[in-house]
Structure 1
Amino acid sequence: MESIAEQTYYKTERQVNSIEQVDIEHERKLYLYNDRIESKHRVFLLQEVLDISYRKLGGEGGLLYLHTNSGVFSYTVKTSPQPFIELCKNYMNRT
């Protein structure tokens, strides 16, 4: 099944050894389907998603929040996820 929409998010992995600390940024995607939202490691059924919101931080980007029955999950984004949020809310209202 092909996704309806995608939103890029970033996960920072910190690696520390005896000499240095290195931050590695991984680019990942959230995928919206007609019944769920998927990240790399989680699947959120739309019927379990209570809300989706965005908080801008600094000059560009911010945090995208998925409010679910299991808690709030945050995703770091570099651009406004407003189009993705609007599509998600449209599909959430259908369930």
Structure 2
Amino acid sequence: MDSVEFLAHHPYMKVTRVIEDNIQKHREEEHIMKLSTNGIETTCDTFSLDEVLDISYRDISQQLGHLYLHTTKGLYAYVVRVNPHLFILKFRKIKAI
């Protein structure tokens, strides 16, 4: 069985809202987005390189930003605490090959 070599990874957060004792709270779970020569893998989704058209990033506050995967299936947004500049550069380098 062939093993996949991950060339880059980047942490992202999944934020869910829960109600406990009639109080709405936000629960954050950290996950890792992984980039390989085959594509991009998240906890819930896997995209081949052909499916990912581009990746972009936008700050939404001083602490948070959105990493956007532009895919043939639609736009997927991920909340990140760290600027994914190096992850995006690695993706574009692989995509150009």
- The TM-score with structure 2 as length reference comes to 0.90
Distance 2:69 2:37 in 1: 16
Counterpart AA for 1:90: K
**Residue matched to 1:62:** 65
User: Which residues of structure 2 form unaligned runs of 5+?
Assistant: none
The letter for the 2-side match of 1:87 is K
Which has the larger share of strand?
Answer: 2
Letter in 2 for 1:21: Q
Q: How far 1:52 moved relative to its partner?
A: 0.5
Residues 1:91 and 2:94 are matched in the alignment: yes
Give the number of the structure whose residues are more often helix, by fraction: 1
Q: Distance in 2 between matches of 1:54 and 1:12?
A: 18
Residue 77 of structure 2 is aligned to residue 74 of structure 1 = yes
Aligned residues: 94
Match of 1:16 among 1, 14, 19: 19
Deviation at 1:47, TM superposition (A): 0.9
Q: Report the alpha carbon displacement of residue 13 of structure 1 after superposing the two structures with TM.
A: 1.1
Whole-Å separation in 1 of the counterparts to 2:26 and 2:45: 23
Calculate percent identity across the aligned residue pairs.
35
In 1, distance between residues paired with 2:59 and 2:21?
A: 35
Residue 34 of structure 1 corresponds to 37
> Which range moves more in the overlay, 27-36 or 52-61?
52-61
1:4 matched to 2:10:
no
Gaps of 5+ in 1: none
Q: TM-score, normalised by structure 1?
A: 0.91
